[in-house]
Protein backbone atom coordinates (compact mmCIF):
# COMPACT_ATOMS: atom_id res chain seq x y z
CA UNK A 1 0.00 0.00 0.00
CA UNK A 2 1.17 3.54 -0.71
CA UNK A 3 0.60 6.45 1.68
CA UNK A 4 0.01 9.85 0.08
CA UNK A 5 -0.01 12.91 2.37
CA UNK A 6 -1.06 16.50 1.82
CA UNK A 7 -4.12 16.09 -0.40
CA UNK A 8 -5.95 19.36 0.13
CA UNK A 9 -9.61 19.87 -0.71
CA UNK A 10 -11.66 22.99 -0.01
CA UNK A 11 -14.42 22.14 2.48
CA UNK A 12 -17.08 22.55 -0.20
CA UNK A 13 -15.54 19.86 -2.39
CA UNK A 14 -16.94 16.36 -2.14
CA UNK A 15 -14.76 13.64 -0.60
CA UNK A 16 -15.17 11.73 -3.87
CA UNK A 17 -12.75 14.19 -5.45
CA UNK A 18 -9.96 12.56 -3.45
CA UNK A 19 -9.87 9.85 -6.10
CA UNK A 20 -9.23 12.33 -8.92
CA UNK A 21 -6.46 13.93 -6.88
CA UNK A 22 -4.91 10.56 -6.17
CA UNK A 23 -4.81 9.62 -9.83
CA UNK A 24 -3.25 12.95 -10.74
CA UNK A 25 -0.77 12.87 -7.86
CA UNK A 26 0.38 9.30 -8.54
CA UNK A 27 0.22 9.83 -12.30
CA UNK A 28 -1.81 6.65 -12.82
CA UNK A 29 -4.95 5.74 -14.75
CA UNK A 30 -8.29 4.89 -13.15
CA UNK A 31 -7.87 1.14 -13.76
CA UNK A 32 -4.51 1.13 -11.94
CA UNK A 33 -6.07 2.32 -8.66
CA UNK A 34 -7.45 -0.81 -6.98
CA UNK A 35 -8.69 0.79 -3.75
CA UNK A 36 -8.03 3.63 -1.31
CA UNK A 37 -8.96 4.66 2.22
CA UNK A 38 -8.52 7.81 4.27
CA UNK A 39 -5.81 7.42 6.93
CA UNK A 40 -6.07 10.92 8.40
CA UNK A 41 -8.14 14.05 7.87
CA UNK A 42 -7.32 17.41 9.42
CA UNK A 43 -8.59 20.96 8.98
CA UNK A 44 -6.43 23.80 7.69
CA UNK A 45 -8.15 27.08 8.67
CA UNK A 46 -5.06 29.32 8.42
CA UNK A 47 -6.26 31.23 5.36
CA UNK A 48 -9.10 33.71 5.81
CA UNK A 49 -10.58 33.18 2.36
CA UNK A 50 -10.78 29.39 2.40
CA UNK A 51 -10.78 26.44 4.80
CA UNK A 52 -9.40 23.10 3.63
CA UNK A 53 -9.56 19.48 4.65
CA UNK A 54 -6.09 17.96 4.36
CA UNK A 55 -6.09 14.21 3.74
CA UNK A 56 -3.54 11.46 4.11
CA UNK A 57 -4.70 8.54 2.00
CA UNK A 58 -3.61 4.89 1.68
CA UNK A 59 -3.89 3.57 -1.86
CA UNK A 60 -3.65 0.09 -3.32
CA UNK A 61 -2.33 0.32 -6.88
CA UNK A 62 -1.76 -2.43 -9.42
CA UNK A 63 1.97 -1.86 -9.82
CA UNK A 64 3.17 -0.52 -6.49
CA UNK A 65 6.94 -0.79 -7.05
CA UNK A 66 6.76 1.00 -10.38
CA UNK A 67 4.66 3.81 -8.95
CA UNK A 68 6.90 4.18 -5.89
CA UNK A 69 10.03 4.30 -8.03
CA UNK A 70 8.74 7.52 -9.60
CA UNK A 71 8.53 9.25 -6.21
CA UNK A 72 11.76 8.20 -4.48
CA UNK A 73 12.55 11.77 -3.41
CA UNK A 74 8.97 12.72 -2.49
CA UNK A 75 8.43 12.50 1.28
CA UNK A 76 4.66 12.78 0.81
CA UNK A 77 4.50 9.47 -1.08
CA UNK A 78 5.83 6.49 0.88
CA UNK A 79 5.11 2.83 1.60
CA UNK A 80 2.30 2.58 4.18
CA UNK A 81 3.83 1.45 7.49
CA UNK A 82 2.40 -1.64 9.16
CA UNK A 83 0.18 -0.40 12.00
CA UNK A 84 -1.27 -3.72 13.06
CA UNK A 85 -1.14 -4.36 16.80
CA UNK A 86 1.26 -7.17 17.68
CA UNK A 87 0.61 -9.19 20.80
CA UNK A 88 3.63 -9.79 23.02
CA UNK A 89 5.04 -13.27 23.58
CA UNK A 90 3.65 -14.75 26.78
CA UNK A 91 6.06 -15.36 29.66
CA UNK A 92 6.83 -18.58 31.51
CA UNK A 93 5.93 -17.91 35.14
CA UNK A 94 2.93 -20.02 36.10
CA UNK A 95 -0.31 -18.43 37.31
CA UNK A 96 -2.53 -20.22 39.77
CA UNK A 97 -5.24 -17.59 39.56
CA UNK A 98 -6.52 -15.33 36.84
CA UNK A 99 -5.11 -11.79 36.72
CA UNK A 100 -7.25 -9.23 38.51
CA UNK A 101 -7.84 -5.73 37.19
CA UNK A 102 -9.17 -3.13 39.61
CA UNK A 103 -11.26 -0.56 37.71
CA UNK A 104 -13.14 -0.62 34.42
CA UNK A 105 -12.10 2.80 33.07
CA UNK A 106 -10.22 2.97 29.76
CA UNK A 107 -7.02 1.63 31.39
CA UNK A 108 -8.73 -1.30 33.10
CA UNK A 109 -11.02 -2.11 30.19
CA UNK A 110 -8.20 -2.20 27.64
CA UNK A 111 -5.88 -4.10 29.98
CA UNK A 112 -8.73 -6.59 30.36
CA UNK A 113 -9.38 -6.77 26.64
CA UNK A 114 -5.75 -7.50 25.74
CA UNK A 115 -5.42 -10.13 28.47
CA UNK A 116 -8.71 -11.70 27.40
CA UNK A 117 -7.58 -11.73 23.76
CA UNK A 118 -4.39 -13.49 24.86
CA UNK A 119 -6.30 -16.15 26.78
CA UNK A 120 -5.73 -14.97 30.37
CA UNK A 121 -9.45 -14.82 31.28
CA UNK A 122 -9.00 -11.75 33.55
CA UNK A 123 -11.35 -10.73 36.34
CA UNK A 124 -12.25 -7.02 36.38
CA UNK A 125 -13.52 -5.60 39.67
CA UNK A 126 -15.40 -2.31 39.46
CA UNK A 127 -16.77 -0.45 42.49
CA UNK A 128 -19.51 1.28 40.48
CA UNK A 129 -22.40 -0.22 38.55
CA UNK A 130 -22.83 -1.24 34.94
CA UNK A 131 -23.40 1.61 32.54
CA UNK A 132 -27.21 1.40 32.55
CA UNK A 133 -27.57 1.49 36.34
CA UNK A 134 -24.79 4.06 36.48
CA UNK A 135 -26.59 6.37 34.07
CA UNK A 136 -29.64 6.23 36.36
CA UNK A 137 -27.50 7.01 39.43
CA UNK A 138 -25.83 9.97 37.72
CA UNK A 139 -29.10 11.41 36.44
CA UNK A 140 -30.62 10.98 39.88
CA UNK A 141 -27.73 12.95 41.42
CA UNK A 142 -28.09 15.74 38.89
CA UNK A 143 -31.86 15.87 39.50
CA UNK A 144 -32.08 15.45 43.28
CA UNK A 145 -28.61 16.14 44.67
CA UNK A 146 -28.43 12.61 46.14
CA UNK A 147 -24.86 11.49 45.42
CA UNK A 148 -23.95 7.81 45.36
CA UNK A 149 -20.26 7.87 46.43
CA UNK A 150 -19.64 4.48 44.75
CA UNK A 151 -21.40 5.18 41.48
CA UNK A 152 -21.18 8.61 39.86
CA UNK A 153 -19.45 10.58 37.10
CA UNK A 154 -16.06 9.26 38.28
CA UNK A 155 -16.96 5.68 39.26
CA UNK A 156 -18.70 2.91 37.37
CA UNK A 157 -18.48 1.05 34.06
CA UNK A 158 -16.26 2.87 31.57
CA UNK A 159 -14.61 4.97 34.29
CA UNK A 160 -14.36 8.75 34.35
CA UNK A 161 -14.69 9.16 30.60
CA UNK A 162 -18.15 7.63 30.19
CA UNK A 163 -19.93 10.94 30.85
CA UNK A 164 -17.63 13.02 28.71
CA UNK A 165 -17.21 14.61 25.34
CA UNK A 166 -15.41 11.44 24.33
CA UNK A 167 -12.62 13.39 22.71
CA UNK A 168 -10.03 10.91 21.59
CA UNK A 169 -7.19 13.29 20.86
CA UNK A 170 -3.92 12.48 22.55
CA UNK A 171 -0.40 13.85 22.56
CA UNK A 172 1.22 10.46 22.88
CA UNK A 173 2.75 8.82 19.81
CA UNK A 174 2.21 5.13 20.25
CA UNK A 175 1.09 2.49 17.76
CA UNK A 176 -1.26 1.10 20.41
CA UNK A 177 -3.47 4.21 19.91
CA UNK A 178 -4.68 2.68 16.67
CA UNK A 179 -5.56 -0.59 18.40
CA UNK A 180 -7.65 1.42 20.88
CA UNK A 181 -9.50 3.28 18.12
CA UNK A 182 -10.07 0.12 16.08
CA UNK A 183 -11.51 -1.71 19.07
CA UNK A 184 -13.76 1.27 19.79
CA UNK A 185 -15.04 1.27 16.21
CA UNK A 186 -15.72 -2.46 16.43
CA UNK A 187 -17.64 -1.73 19.63
CA UNK A 188 -19.85 0.87 17.95
CA UNK A 189 -17.90 4.14 17.70
CA UNK A 190 -18.11 6.00 14.38
CA UNK A 191 -15.51 4.87 11.86
CA UNK A 192 -14.23 8.39 11.32
CA UNK A 193 -12.48 8.32 14.72
CA UNK A 194 -9.79 6.24 13.00
CA UNK A 195 -8.84 9.00 10.58
CA UNK A 196 -10.18 12.25 12.01
CA UNK A 197 -7.51 14.63 13.26
CA UNK A 198 -9.73 15.44 16.24
CA UNK A 199 -11.75 12.30 16.85
CA UNK A 200 -14.68 12.43 19.23
CA UNK A 201 -17.42 10.00 20.19
CA UNK A 202 -19.84 11.72 22.59
CA UNK A 203 -21.27 10.31 25.81
CA UNK A 204 -24.35 8.81 24.10
CA UNK A 205 -22.25 6.52 21.88
CA UNK A 206 -19.52 5.93 24.47
CA UNK A 207 -22.00 4.24 26.77
CA UNK A 208 -22.69 1.60 24.11
CA UNK A 209 -18.99 1.28 23.28
CA UNK A 210 -17.92 0.46 26.85
CA UNK A 211 -20.75 -2.03 27.25
CA UNK A 212 -19.77 -3.81 24.01
CA UNK A 213 -16.10 -3.97 25.01
CA UNK A 214 -17.13 -5.49 28.34
CA UNK A 215 -19.25 -8.08 26.54
CA UNK A 216 -16.35 -8.88 24.25
CA UNK A 217 -14.11 -9.50 27.29
CA UNK A 218 -16.78 -11.76 28.76
CA UNK A 219 -17.14 -13.59 25.44
CA UNK A 220 -13.41 -14.35 25.57
CA UNK A 221 -13.69 -15.92 29.03
CA UNK A 222 -13.08 -12.84 31.17
CA UNK A 223 -15.43 -11.66 33.93
CA UNK A 224 -16.50 -8.21 35.07
CA UNK A 225 -18.02 -7.75 38.54
CA UNK A 226 -19.80 -4.51 39.40
CA UNK A 227 -20.44 -3.21 42.91
CA UNK A 228 -17.05 -4.78 43.76
CA UNK A 229 -14.93 -2.23 45.58
CA UNK A 230 -11.42 -3.42 46.40
CA UNK A 231 -10.91 -2.41 50.03
CA UNK A 232 -7.69 -4.25 50.77
CA UNK A 233 -4.80 -6.22 49.34
CA UNK A 234 -3.37 -9.38 50.80
CA UNK A 235 0.41 -9.04 50.83
CA UNK A 236 2.96 -11.60 51.94
CA UNK A 237 6.75 -11.03 51.86
CA UNK A 238 6.15 -7.88 49.83
CA UNK A 239 4.24 -9.82 47.17
CA UNK A 240 0.56 -9.48 46.40
CA UNK A 241 -1.39 -12.68 47.14
CA UNK A 242 -4.94 -11.49 46.59
CA UNK A 243 -7.50 -8.72 46.98
CA UNK A 244 -10.26 -8.04 49.49
CA UNK A 245 -13.58 -6.93 48.03
CA UNK A 246 -16.15 -4.89 49.93
CA UNK A 247 -14.30 -5.56 53.22
CA UNK A 248 -15.30 -9.22 53.13
CA UNK A 249 -14.52 -11.47 50.16
CA UNK A 250 -10.95 -12.59 49.49
CA UNK A 251 -9.98 -13.36 45.90
CA UNK A 252 -6.50 -14.88 45.39
CA UNK A 253 -4.28 -13.43 42.65
CA UNK A 254 -0.59 -13.22 41.78
CA UNK A 255 -1.00 -10.38 39.27
CA UNK A 256 -3.15 -7.35 40.09
CA UNK A 257 -3.50 -4.36 37.77
CA UNK A 258 -4.41 -1.19 39.60
CA UNK A 259 -6.43 0.95 37.17
CA UNK A 260 -8.32 2.98 39.75
CA UNK A 261 -8.40 6.47 38.20
CA UNK A 262 -7.57 9.76 39.90
CA UNK A 263 -10.54 9.98 42.24
CA UNK A 264 -10.26 6.75 44.28
CA UNK A 265 -9.08 8.56 47.39
CA UNK A 266 -10.00 5.76 49.78
CA UNK A 267 -8.02 3.32 47.62
CA UNK A 268 -5.00 5.66 47.56
CA UNK A 269 -5.18 5.72 51.37
CA UNK A 270 -5.42 1.93 51.55
CA UNK A 271 -2.39 1.62 49.24
CA UNK A 272 -0.44 4.11 51.35
CA UNK A 273 -1.30 2.23 54.57
CA UNK A 274 -0.02 -0.99 52.98
CA UNK A 275 3.33 0.59 52.10
CA UNK A 276 2.87 1.16 48.36
CA UNK A 277 5.30 3.82 47.15
CA UNK A 278 3.30 6.97 46.32
CA UNK A 279 4.58 10.44 45.49
CA UNK A 280 2.67 13.72 45.25
CA UNK A 281 2.22 15.03 41.73
CA UNK A 282 1.49 18.41 40.12
CA UNK A 283 -1.91 18.91 38.53
CA UNK A 284 -4.07 21.91 37.63
CA UNK A 285 -7.17 23.54 39.04
CA UNK A 286 -9.57 26.30 38.07
CA UNK A 287 -13.06 26.63 36.63
CA UNK A 288 -15.24 25.72 33.62
CA UNK A 289 -15.88 28.62 31.28
CA UNK A 290 -18.95 28.81 29.02
CA UNK A 291 -19.45 30.86 25.85
CA UNK A 292 -22.10 30.72 23.16
CA UNK A 293 -20.94 28.08 20.67
CA UNK A 294 -21.78 30.50 17.83
CA UNK A 295 -19.24 32.97 19.19
CA UNK A 296 -16.51 30.30 19.11
CA UNK A 297 -17.52 29.21 15.59
CA UNK A 298 -17.30 32.81 14.37
CA UNK A 299 -13.96 33.43 16.04
CA UNK A 300 -12.44 30.26 14.58
CA UNK A 301 -14.14 29.86 11.19
CA UNK A 302 -15.15 33.46 10.32
CA UNK A 303 -17.47 33.43 7.27
CA UNK A 304 -17.45 29.62 7.27
CA UNK A 305 -18.97 29.43 10.78
CA UNK A 306 -21.86 26.99 10.84
CA UNK A 307 -20.70 25.16 7.70
CA UNK A 308 -22.23 21.67 8.03
CA UNK A 309 -18.96 19.89 7.20
CA UNK A 310 -16.97 21.75 9.85
CA UNK A 311 -19.14 21.08 12.91
CA UNK A 312 -18.85 23.22 16.03
CA UNK A 313 -15.42 24.81 16.46
CA UNK A 314 -12.93 24.02 19.21
CA UNK A 315 -10.11 26.01 20.76
CA UNK A 316 -6.98 25.40 22.82
CA UNK A 317 -5.19 28.28 24.53
CA UNK A 318 -2.28 28.65 26.89
CA UNK A 319 -0.58 31.46 28.81
CA UNK A 320 2.66 31.61 30.78
CA UNK A 321 2.48 34.04 33.67
CA UNK A 322 5.55 35.99 34.86
CA UNK A 323 4.77 34.36 38.22
CA UNK A 324 6.01 31.08 36.72
CA UNK A 325 2.60 29.44 36.63
CA UNK A 326 0.72 28.54 33.46
CA UNK A 327 -2.94 28.87 32.59
CA UNK A 328 -4.52 26.87 29.83
CA UNK A 329 -7.81 25.63 28.47
CA UNK A 330 -8.40 21.91 28.72
CA UNK A 331 -10.93 19.30 27.72
CA UNK A 332 -12.96 21.76 25.65
CA UNK A 333 -16.48 20.52 24.87
CA UNK A 334 -18.06 22.17 21.82
CA UNK A 335 -21.86 22.20 21.99
CA UNK A 336 -21.78 20.54 25.40
CA UNK A 337 -22.79 20.99 29.02
CA UNK A 338 -20.99 21.48 32.31
CA UNK A 339 -21.52 18.48 34.59
CA UNK A 340 -21.55 17.92 38.33
CA UNK A 341 -18.68 15.45 38.66
CA UNK A 342 -18.31 14.99 42.43
CA UNK A 343 -17.48 11.60 43.89
CA UNK A 344 -17.40 12.63 47.56
CA UNK A 345 -20.22 14.02 49.65
CA UNK A 346 -20.08 17.71 50.56
CA UNK A 347 -17.88 18.68 47.61
CA UNK A 348 -18.45 20.32 44.23
CA UNK A 349 -16.42 19.31 41.18
CA UNK A 350 -17.05 20.51 37.62
CA UNK A 351 -16.27 18.89 34.28
CA UNK A 352 -17.66 18.91 30.73
CA UNK A 353 -19.59 16.51 28.53
CA UNK A 354 -21.31 16.43 25.16
CA UNK A 355 -23.35 14.12 22.99
CA UNK A 356 -22.05 12.96 19.64
CA UNK A 357 -24.04 15.72 17.87
CA UNK A 358 -22.43 18.44 20.00
CA UNK A 359 -25.54 20.51 19.44
CA UNK A 360 -26.07 22.33 22.74
CA UNK A 361 -26.02 26.13 22.72
CA UNK A 362 -22.88 26.60 24.82
CA UNK A 363 -19.23 25.72 24.36
CA UNK A 364 -17.44 24.92 27.60
CA UNK A 365 -13.86 24.31 28.59
CA UNK A 366 -11.81 23.87 31.71
CA UNK A 367 -9.74 26.99 32.42
CA UNK A 368 -6.93 25.82 34.63
CA UNK A 369 -3.80 26.98 36.43
CA UNK A 370 -0.95 24.65 37.33
CA UNK A 371 -0.44 23.74 40.99
CA UNK A 372 2.52 21.82 42.34
CA UNK A 373 3.31 19.80 45.48
CA UNK A 374 4.83 23.01 46.90
CA UNK A 375 1.26 24.40 47.11
CA UNK A 376 -0.04 21.40 49.05
CA UNK A 377 -0.56 21.66 52.82
CA UNK A 378 2.21 19.16 53.70
CA UNK A 379 4.82 16.84 52.23
CA UNK A 380 2.63 13.78 52.79
CA UNK A 381 2.22 11.70 49.59
CA UNK A 382 -1.55 12.27 49.72
CA UNK A 383 -1.35 16.03 50.46
CA UNK A 384 -2.60 16.79 46.94
CA UNK A 385 -5.83 14.95 47.75
CA UNK A 386 -6.29 17.12 50.87
CA UNK A 387 -5.64 20.19 48.74
CA UNK A 388 -8.29 19.17 46.16
CA UNK A 389 -10.80 18.31 48.87
CA UNK A 390 -10.37 21.68 50.63
CA UNK A 391 -11.28 23.67 47.50
CA UNK A 392 -14.07 21.31 46.47
CA UNK A 393 -15.64 21.68 49.94
CA UNK A 394 -15.31 25.48 49.74
CA UNK A 395 -17.14 25.41 46.39
CA UNK A 396 -19.86 23.24 47.94
CA UNK A 397 -20.40 25.77 50.73
CA UNK A 398 -20.23 28.73 48.37
CA UNK A 399 -22.80 27.05 46.12
CA UNK A 400 -25.23 26.81 49.03
CA UNK A 401 -24.63 23.23 50.22
CA UNK A 402 -26.93 21.52 47.71
CA UNK A 403 -24.33 20.63 45.05
CA UNK A 404 -25.18 23.79 43.15
CA UNK A 405 -21.90 25.23 41.91
CA UNK A 406 -20.57 28.73 42.55
CA UNK A 407 -20.47 30.79 39.34
CA UNK A 408 -19.49 34.27 38.22
CA UNK A 409 -19.55 36.33 35.03
CA UNK A 410 -16.19 36.93 33.40
CA UNK A 411 -16.85 40.70 33.40
CA UNK A 412 -17.39 40.69 37.16
CA UNK A 413 -14.46 38.34 37.79
CA UNK A 414 -12.12 40.68 35.93
CA UNK A 415 -13.48 43.69 37.85
CA UNK A 416 -13.13 41.82 41.13
CA UNK A 417 -16.78 42.08 42.15
CA UNK A 418 -19.32 39.32 42.86
CA UNK A 419 -22.03 38.44 40.35
CA UNK A 420 -25.65 38.43 41.41
CA UNK A 421 -27.27 37.08 38.23
CA UNK A 422 -26.21 35.62 34.94
CA UNK A 423 -26.60 37.44 31.64
CA UNK A 424 -27.18 36.25 28.11
CA UNK A 425 -25.64 32.79 28.64
CA UNK A 426 -27.80 30.29 30.48
CA UNK A 427 -25.64 28.10 32.74
CA UNK A 428 -25.71 24.47 31.67
CA UNK A 429 -24.33 23.02 34.95
CA UNK A 430 -26.54 20.07 35.70
CA UNK A 431 -27.31 20.93 39.36
CA UNK A 432 -27.75 24.69 38.84
CA UNK A 433 -25.45 27.51 39.91
CA UNK A 434 -25.24 30.13 42.66
CA UNK A 435 -23.94 33.47 41.37
CA UNK A 436 -21.19 34.66 43.69
CA UNK A 437 -17.51 35.59 43.87
CA UNK A 438 -15.40 32.69 42.63
CA UNK A 439 -12.19 33.91 44.23
CA UNK A 440 -13.58 32.57 47.52
CA UNK A 441 -13.27 29.03 46.19
CA UNK A 442 -9.87 29.34 44.52
CA UNK A 443 -6.35 29.90 45.88
CA UNK A 444 -5.28 33.56 45.42
CA UNK A 445 -2.50 32.61 42.99
CA UNK A 446 -4.98 30.74 40.78
CA UNK A 447 -7.34 33.75 40.73
CA UNK A 448 -4.44 36.08 39.93
CA UNK A 449 -3.19 33.99 36.98
CA UNK A 450 -6.73 33.60 35.61
CA UNK A 451 -7.12 37.41 35.69
CA UNK A 452 -3.96 37.72 33.59
CA UNK A 453 -4.84 34.87 31.26
CA UNK A 454 -8.39 35.82 30.24
CA UNK A 455 -7.47 39.18 28.57
CA UNK A 456 -4.52 37.42 26.91
CA UNK A 457 -6.83 34.71 25.56
CA UNK A 458 -9.13 37.47 24.22
CA UNK A 459 -6.28 38.49 21.90
CA UNK A 460 -6.06 34.93 20.58
CA UNK A 461 -9.80 34.16 20.41
CA UNK A 462 -12.13 37.10 19.92
CA UNK A 463 -14.92 36.99 22.49
CA UNK A 464 -13.14 34.83 25.06
CA UNK A 465 -13.30 37.69 27.61
CA UNK A 466 -16.98 38.39 26.84
CA UNK A 467 -18.39 40.05 29.96
CA UNK A 468 -21.34 37.61 29.99
CA UNK A 469 -19.19 34.49 29.64
CA UNK A 470 -19.81 32.29 32.64
CA UNK A 471 -17.28 30.69 34.96
CA UNK A 472 -18.36 27.78 37.16
CA UNK A 473 -16.16 26.28 39.85
CA UNK A 474 -14.30 24.33 40.84
CA UNK A 475 -12.45 22.07 38.45
CA UNK A 476 -9.94 20.08 40.48
CA UNK A 477 -9.73 16.66 38.84
CA UNK A 478 -7.66 17.58 35.80
CA UNK A 479 -5.24 14.76 36.56
CA UNK A 480 -4.08 12.66 39.47
CA UNK A 481 -2.55 14.42 42.50
CA UNK A 482 -0.58 11.23 43.20
CA UNK A 483 1.81 8.96 41.32
CA UNK A 484 1.97 5.28 42.18
CA UNK A 485 5.60 4.51 41.46
CA UNK A 486 6.42 1.62 39.15
CA UNK A 487 9.62 0.17 37.67
CA UNK A 488 10.58 -0.63 34.06
CA UNK A 489 8.53 -3.83 34.27
CA UNK A 490 5.60 -1.55 35.25
CA UNK A 491 5.42 -3.13 38.69
CA UNK A 492 5.07 -1.18 41.94
CA UNK A 493 7.35 -1.69 44.96
CA UNK A 494 4.93 -4.51 45.88
CA UNK A 495 5.62 -7.48 43.59
CA UNK A 496 2.68 -8.45 41.39
CA UNK A 497 0.96 -5.06 41.76
CA UNK A 498 0.89 -3.15 38.46
CA UNK A 499 -0.29 0.51 38.54
CA UNK A 500 -1.88 1.71 35.28
CA UNK A 501 -3.64 4.67 33.76
CA UNK A 502 -4.48 8.13 34.98
CA UNK A 503 -4.81 7.37 38.69
CA UNK A 504 -1.34 5.93 38.76
CA UNK A 505 -0.05 9.13 37.16
CA UNK A 506 1.02 7.62 33.83
CA UNK A 507 -1.73 8.87 31.52
CA UNK A 508 -4.16 11.70 30.97
CA UNK A 509 -7.26 11.22 28.84
CA UNK A 510 -9.20 8.31 27.44
CA UNK A 511 -6.78 7.13 24.74
CA UNK A 512 -3.57 7.52 26.73
CA UNK A 513 -5.14 5.73 29.72
CA UNK A 514 -6.29 2.91 27.41
CA UNK A 515 -2.79 2.69 25.88
CA UNK A 516 -1.22 2.56 29.33
CA UNK A 517 -3.66 -0.22 30.26
CA UNK A 518 -2.45 -2.15 27.21
CA UNK A 519 1.20 -1.57 28.14
CA UNK A 520 0.62 -2.90 31.62
CA UNK A 521 -1.34 -5.90 30.31
CA UNK A 522 1.66 -6.61 28.07
CA UNK A 523 3.98 -6.46 31.10
CA UNK A 524 1.79 -9.02 32.92
CA UNK A 525 1.60 -11.23 29.83
CA UNK A 526 5.37 -11.11 29.25
CA UNK A 527 5.91 -12.40 32.77
CA UNK A 528 3.18 -15.01 33.22
CA UNK A 529 1.75 -17.69 31.00
CA UNK A 530 -2.03 -17.95 30.68
CA UNK A 531 -3.87 -20.21 33.14
CA UNK A 532 -3.98 -23.83 32.14
CA UNK A 533 -1.20 -23.54 29.53
CA UNK A 534 1.45 -26.24 30.02
CA UNK A 535 5.07 -25.28 29.45
P1 LIG B 1 -10.84 6.01 35.28
O2 LIG B 1 -11.52 6.23 34.01
O3 LIG B 1 -11.01 7.02 36.35
O4 LIG B 1 -11.32 4.58 35.81
C5 LIG B 1 -11.03 4.11 37.09
C6 LIG B 1 -12.10 3.12 37.49
O7 LIG B 1 -11.66 2.43 38.65
C8 LIG B 1 -13.42 3.78 37.84
O9 LIG B 1 -14.46 3.20 37.08
C10 LIG B 1 -13.59 3.50 39.33
O11 LIG B 1 -14.92 3.29 39.70
C12 LIG B 1 -12.77 2.23 39.52
N13 LIG B 1 -12.24 2.08 40.87
C14 LIG B 1 -11.57 3.01 41.60
N15 LIG B 1 -11.23 2.48 42.80
C16 LIG B 1 -11.68 1.22 42.81
C17 LIG B 1 -11.66 0.18 43.78
N18 LIG B 1 -11.07 0.36 44.98
N19 LIG B 1 -12.26 -1.00 43.48
C20 LIG B 1 -12.88 -1.20 42.28
N21 LIG B 1 -12.94 -0.23 41.34
C22 LIG B 1 -12.35 0.96 41.59
N23 LIG B 1 -10.61 12.39 28.56
C24 LIG B 1 -10.52 12.46 27.21
O25 LIG B 1 -9.55 11.95 26.63
N26 LIG B 1 -11.50 13.06 26.47
C27 LIG B 1 -12.60 13.62 27.04
O28 LIG B 1 -13.46 14.15 26.34
C29 LIG B 1 -12.71 13.56 28.45
N30 LIG B 1 -13.77 14.11 29.09
C31 LIG B 1 -13.96 13.88 30.41
C32 LIG B 1 -15.14 14.29 31.01
C33 LIG B 1 -15.40 14.01 32.34
C34 LIG B 1 -16.71 14.43 32.94
C35 LIG B 1 -14.41 13.34 33.12
C36 LIG B 1 -14.65 13.06 34.56
C37 LIG B 1 -13.21 12.95 32.54
C38 LIG B 1 -12.97 13.20 31.18
N39 LIG B 1 -11.80 12.80 30.55
C40 LIG B 1 -11.68 12.90 29.19
C41 LIG B 1 -10.69 12.16 31.30
C42 LIG B 1 -10.75 10.64 31.12
O43 LIG B 1 -12.03 10.21 31.41
C44 LIG B 1 -9.74 9.98 32.01
O45 LIG B 1 -8.46 10.45 31.63
C46 LIG B 1 -9.76 8.47 31.87
O47 LIG B 1 -11.05 7.96 32.12
C48 LIG B 1 -8.77 7.82 32.83
O49 LIG B 1 -8.86 6.45 32.67
P50 LIG B 1 -8.44 5.42 33.80
O51 LIG B 1 -8.88 4.08 33.33
O52 LIG B 1 -7.03 5.60 34.15
O53 LIG B 1 -9.29 5.83 35.10
What's the average model confidence in pLDDT over 516-535? Answer: 90
What's the average model confidence in pLDDT over 355-382? Answer: 97
Closest residue to atom 45 of ligand 1, CA basis: 509
Best residue for ligand 1 mutational test, from 210, 224, 231, 260 (most atoms within 8 Å of Cβ)? 260
- Is the beta carbon of 314 within 6 A of some atom in ligand 1? no
Q: Is residue 534 over pLDDT 80?
A: no
Ligand 1 atom with the shortest distance to the CA of 170: 25
Least confident of 8-17, 320-329, 434-443: 8-17
pLDDT value for 45? 86
Taking the CB of residue 275, how many other CB atoms lie within 10 A of it?
12
- Rounded-to-integer distance, Cα 263 and Cα 153, Å: 10
Q: Encode pLDDT of 194-222 as tens digits.
A: 999 899 999 999 999 999 999 999 999 99
Q: Is residue 16 over pLDDT 90?
A: no
Using alpha carbons, select from 96, 113, 109, 104 the residue that is nearest to residue 255.
96
- The CATH-assigned architecture of domain 100-279+482-527 is 3-Layer(bba) Sandwich (3.50)
Q: Is residue 531 over pLDDT 90?
A: no
CB distance 297 to 484 below 8 Å: no
- Is the beta carbon of 101 within 6 A of some atom in ligand 1? no
What's the average model confidence in pLDDT over 224-237? Answer: 98
pLDDT value for 439? 97
- Is the beta carbon of 522 within 6 A of some atom in ligand 1? no
CATH code of the region 2-79: 3.30.70.2700
Q: What percent of the chain has pLDDT over 70?
A: 100
What's the average model confidence in pLDDT over 44-51? Answer: 87
The pTM (predicted TM-score) of the whole model is 0.95
Ligand 1 atom with the shortest distance to the CA of 153: 36
pLDDT value for 197? 87
ipTM over 0.85: yes
CB distance 459 to 430 below 8 Å: no
Name the pLDDT band for 383 (thresholds 50, 70, 90).
Answer: very high
- Is the beta carbon of 267 within 6 A of some atom in ligand 1? yes
- What are the residue boundaries of the structural domains of the chain, listed by start? 2-79, 100-279+482-527, 282-374+382-475
Name the pLDDT band for 15 (thresholds 50, 70, 90).
Answer: confident
- Is the beta carbon of 521 within 6 A of some atom in ligand 1? no
- Rounded-to-integer distance, Cα 529 and Cα 90, Å: 5
- Rounded-to-integer distance, Cα 398 and Cα 121, Å: 48
Q: Is residue 535 over pLDDT 80?
A: no
What's the average model confidence in pLDDT over 72-101? Answer: 95
Topology match between the domains 2-79 and 100-279+482-527:
no
Least confident of 46-60, 208-222, 264-278, 281-295: 46-60
- Is the beta carbon of 164 within 6 A of some atom in ligand 1? yes
Using alpha carbons, select from 448, 426, 447, 445 the residue that is nearest to residue 435.
426
Q: Is residue 298 over pLDDT 80?
A: yes
What's the average model confidence in pLDDT over 244-249? Answer: 97
- Is the beta carbon of 408 within 6 A of some atom in ligand 1? no
Amino acid sequence: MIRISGIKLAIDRAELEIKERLLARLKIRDNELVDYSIFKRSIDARRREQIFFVYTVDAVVSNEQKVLSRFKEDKDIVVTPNLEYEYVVAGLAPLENRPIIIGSGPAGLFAGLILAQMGYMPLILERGEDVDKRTEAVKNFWRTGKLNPQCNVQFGEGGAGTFSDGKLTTLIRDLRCRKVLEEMVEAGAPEEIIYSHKPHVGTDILRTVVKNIRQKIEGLGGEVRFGARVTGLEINSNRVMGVIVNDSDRIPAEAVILAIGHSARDTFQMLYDLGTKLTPKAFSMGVRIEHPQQLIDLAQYKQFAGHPRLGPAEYKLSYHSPSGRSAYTFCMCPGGVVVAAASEEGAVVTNGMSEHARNEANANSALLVSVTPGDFPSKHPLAGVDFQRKWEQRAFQLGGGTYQAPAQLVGDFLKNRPSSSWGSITPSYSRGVTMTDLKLSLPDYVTAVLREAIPYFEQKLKGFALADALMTGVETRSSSPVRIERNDQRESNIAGLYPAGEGAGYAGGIVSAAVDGIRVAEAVAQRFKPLGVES
